Structure 1
Amino acid sequence: MQAKYVQAKYALLCCLLPFAAAAQWYSGSGSAVVFDDNRQLARQQAAKQALRSTLLQAEVSLAALSLFRHDNADAELFTLHAGLPVAQIVIEEEHERDGRLSVTLKADIWPQQSMCEQRSVAKALLLAPFSLAPGAAQAALHNTELTAEINQRFYSAVQAASADFLVKAVAPAPLAAPEQYQSATAAQQLRYLAESAQAQFVLSGRLRNLAFGRQEGNLLKKDRWTRQFALELSVFDGVSGNLIQSKTYQSRTLWPYAVQAQPDPASDQLWRSDYGIELQRLLHDAVDDAATVLSCVRVKAQVIRVTDNSVAISAGSRQGLQPGDRFSLSYTDSFTDSWGNRYQSSTQEPAQLEVIRVYPDHADTRPLNQHYPAAIQVRDQVQQDSFREQHYAN
């Protein structure tokens, strides 16, 4: 099939400094299940997975997937705009086989281009294992093993998004349901977990539906089993304990086994089936949405050491910090009203800290005015102020 080209409007990109890094081509493929003969939807889903693969290779934020259109079935697969890291997309191949639609494409990507005002820096995360909601736990036996495999694949998907996330720790057990964190006690516990892990954000989820259903056959086809999948993923601010976003991802597909079967949750047969492909797609969607909602949030870290010559903070080169990056001190104030509601606010210190040395998980800083702010202490917060931009020779 003839390749199709999608080009960005280069107005902004062409105005970049002459020493900016050149765009590079990356190739990727994706597949999706065709449901109810809806090939257009399957084509969009497969193309998104293919583009996602190229962004991961280029180590570019998955928030760039926001250029992917879903609203109009007759529209082009991609609409690109100046300022985004993807300059051009070539659809190289599309084919359908056995109810699957696959798309192969290549994308011309500017690895250093950011969708935000500041240079992209990975966000420090604490991951919590998914829990099984009571209804999901009763749907079938062996769901505990399936949940463990889903957890592992979700962790791998988060870790692969290195431009967006740095996993600092994995909680030993699932967290409470998101609605419980409206209480001050639960929010305080979440803040303690995040602070202990030196994580700015917490991802937590639960499997809400793994139930089976029956697709009735006819004279030519036997009855077939279907299975639900519903995942709720919550994103918390580990500094305040507040819920940022909670979304549910759900689908239903054919189940490749008899309902009484006890398949290996890690088997290729399961993950190459319609159910496995759809489940993996939903896990990716959850990671992509978390990357989008956090993409332009300013990085926060803690003061972990104060000496006569420097102040060490709990963010380093694995998150993307570089010498010359700047942070502002942020003092947290909190109070409780007469009804027991707790409120928090942050007050920025006028003094700025500049990164002078970076290590994998921390950095040494010094004040720009050569004078330390009064009463700076370990566990004080610092917040991203500005980041040094790299320039590359042609």
Structure 2
Amino acid sequence: MTIRVFFLCLLGLCTGVLQAAVLEGVGHANIREGNLAQARAEARQAAMRDLALQYEARVSTTDTIENGELTQSYTELSAQAKVRNATIVDEYRRGNLLRVIVRADMAGADASDESMCKAAEASGLRKRVAVTAFPVLRPVQAGSPGLNDAAQELPRALVARLQARYSMEVLGATSLQLFSNLPDAPTAQANPASNHLTNVVQLARELGAQFVVSGVIRDISLADPGAWGSSIADRIKRRFNRVDTRRRFAVELMIFDGFSGSPVLRQRFETLAPWQPSGSGSGGFASAGFSGTEWGRAVSGVMDDMAGAVSKALACQPFMTRITRVAGEHVTLASGATAGLRPGQELSLYRSQRYFDSLQGTPELSDTGATLVLNNVHPDFSNGRMSTEAGQVNIQRDDLAIIW
């Protein structure tokens, strides 16, 4: 008879509710062939493992018992923790042995926390997002001077919410309309003048953005177009609530990857609430008076939901930045301290490739197996040293550095 016995132990203080904490981890690595950058990267990884085990470690043991005797025992040590703002605070070298100390903000890994996903380290960095105009599909539906500027005011309000509440670099490009064929946006077509997704890539390159947020206001019509007539009969009907004075608001939000043009999220948001014309003091779209009306508050709630959807969709995405210069083992990136990068941080290097038979298609990324450890970090760019010669893995300008 075979009996399998399974035990699960939580080490340290993991039996209680874990709170965020700032901890220091120690890592060691051997310096081989004088490659200090590679040793530093390995020591940093070891220190990160030490941090995770300090904060939340789990030991699982499986024993196999046959006829009352222990015949096999398997023990596994694992850790699940969210690491943010990891920084090398001390480095010591003795001969060919390198020791580093890493300090980081630690938080427990809650399986119900969708924002964590798999991007533990990338979640601590600020991804750059460009927000463009949200044109109105049928401008005639506005029918009011206060709503004519919704195409620009909606993305401006979205920019303000993203900047205030979420950890990302937000660039406002609210005067730029990404699509010319609004009914079918964002469908790609062969005609470059239409909704070709290369527009997204070009815009993202010009702004240095990793993602582009855009959309279309699909419906802003009155539930009853005759509800606000100027005749005496119309006024009497409104006075006795005999007409439907509600206005619709339906907007389609779209998020695109700036390096490939591929869609990340496409979601529709809708609301319907009583509306009053601008002459009643409601003011322009997203203005102070606007937020004092029932329809304005309903639309503001939609914009809150849109900002939350953007944050949720991007939280699980890796941090990606372009390579702007390569010289031997030295590489310069298009992102720096404003994105949250710090000296000693390690990024994986990927080749971006297109093929002659699909030049307009999504570029393919291939992992070179090489890494970059940052030495110098400036506000809008950074540079460091590769773990190998660039020529050996063919890393070039416009390839990508990624943190997952």
Q: 1:259 to 1:18 in 2, by over 3 A?
A: closer
> Structure 2 residue aligned with 1:228, among 231, 248, 251?
248
The 5 Å alignment of 1:361-380 reads 361-369=380-388, 371-374=389-392, 375-380=394-399
Distance 2:201 2:238 in 1: 56
Q: Is the 8 A contact 1:229 1:252 kept in 2?
A: yes
Q: In the alignment, residue 180 of structure 1 is paired with which amino acid?
A: T
Structure-1 residue corresponding to 2:186: 179
The 5 Å alignment of 1:182-201 reads 183=190, 185=192, 186-201=196-211
Q: In the alignment, residue 128 of structure 1 is paired with which amino acid?
A: T
Structure-2 residue corresponding to 1:383: 402
Q: Is the 8 A contact 2:152 2:175 kept in 1?
A: no
> Structure 2 residue aligned with 1:209, among 219, 225, 240?
219
Deviation, structure 1 residue 355: 1.5
Structure-2 residue corresponding to 1:148: 152
Q: 1:139 to 1:162 in 2, by over 3 A?
A: closer
Secondary structure in 2 matching 1:342: coil
RMSD: 3.6
Q: 1:141 to 1:201 in 2, by over 3 A?
A: same
Distance 1:208 1:198 in 2: 29
Deviation, structure 1 residue 364: 1.3
**Structure 1 length as normaliser, TM-score?**
0.63
Deviation, structure 1 residue 221: 4.5
Structure-2 residue corresponding to 1:263: 283
Structure-2 residue corresponding to 1:124: 128
Deviation, structure 1 residue 295: 0.8
Q: Is the 8 A contact 1:126 1:197 kept in 2?
A: yes
Q: 1:373 to 1:243 in 2, by over 3 A?
A: same
Q: Is the 8 A contact 2:255 2:264 kept in 1?
A: yes
Distance 1:343 1:159 in 2: 29
**Structure 2 length as normaliser, TM-score?**
0.61
Deviation, structure 1 residue 352: 0.5
> Structure 2 residue aligned with 1:159, among 149, 158, 163?
163
Structure-2 residue corresponding to 1:252: 272
Deviation, structure 1 residue 252: 0.7
Unaligned runs of 5+ in 2: 1-13, 25-79, 84-103, 108-114, 228-233
Distance 1:251 1:376 in 2: 49
Deviation, structure 1 residue 253: 0.6
Q: Is the 8 A contact 2:22 2:106 kept in 1?
A: no
Structure-1 residue corresponding to 2:353: 333
Distance 1:221 1:272 in 2: 20
Q: 1:149 to 1:379 in 2, by over 3 A?
A: same
CA offset digits 1:212-260 (Å, max 9, x no partner): 1348979964646211111111011111111122111110111133789
Q: 1:240 to 1:123 in 2, by over 3 A?
A: same
Q: In the alignment, residue 308 of structure 2 is paired with which amino acid?
A: D
Q: 1:343 to 1:362 in 2, by over 3 A?
A: closer
Distance 1:137 1:319 in 2: 41
Deviation, structure 1 residue 181: 3.0
The 5 Å alignment of 1:27-38 reads none
Q: Is the 8 A contact 1:330 1:346 kept in 2?
A: yes
* Structure whose CA Rg is larger: 2
Unaligned runs of 5+ in 1: 1-9, 21-81, 86-109, 386-394
CA offset digits 1:351-387 (Å, max 9, x no partner): 1001222222221121135x444443322222225xx
Distance 1:334 1:350 in 2: 19
Q: Is the 8 A contact 1:136 1:211 kept in 2?
A: no
Q: Is the 8 A contact 1:311 1:365 kept in 2?
A: yes
Distance 2:106 2:377 in 1: 19
Distance 2:221 2:370 in 1: 56
Deviation, structure 1 residue 18: 7.3
Q: In the alignment, residue 302 of structure 2 is paired with which amino acid?
A: L
The 5 Å alignment of 1:90-129 reads 113=107, 115-117=116-118, 118-119=120-121, 120=123, 121-129=125-133
Q: In the alignment, residue 178 of structure 2 is paired with which amino acid?
A: L
Q: 1:256 to 1:84 in 2, by over 3 A?
A: farther
Distance 2:319 2:309 in 1: 18
Secondary structure in 2 matching 1:195: helix
Distance 1:280 1:359 in 2: 37
> Structure 1 residue aligned with 2:364, among 345, 354, 376?
345
Q: In the alignment, residue 314 of structure 1 is paired with which amino acid?
A: A
Q: 1:373 to 1:16 in 2, by over 3 A?
A: farther
Q: Is the 8 A contact 2:130 2:171 kept in 1?
A: yes
Secondary structure in 2 matching 1:212: coil
> Structure 2 residue aligned with 1:359, among 378, 381, 398?
378
Q: In the alignment, residue 154 of structure 2 is paired with which amino acid?
A: I
Q: 1:112 to 1:140 in 2, by over 3 A?
A: farther
Distance 2:314 2:249 in 1: 25
Q: Is the 8 A contact 1:127 1:203 kept in 2?
A: yes
Question: Does residue 306 in structure 1 map to residue 323 in structure 2?
Answer: no
Q: Is the 8 A contact 1:335 1:343 kept in 2?
A: no
Distance 1:222 1:259 in 2: 21
Q: 1:151 to 1:355 in 2, by over 3 A?
A: same
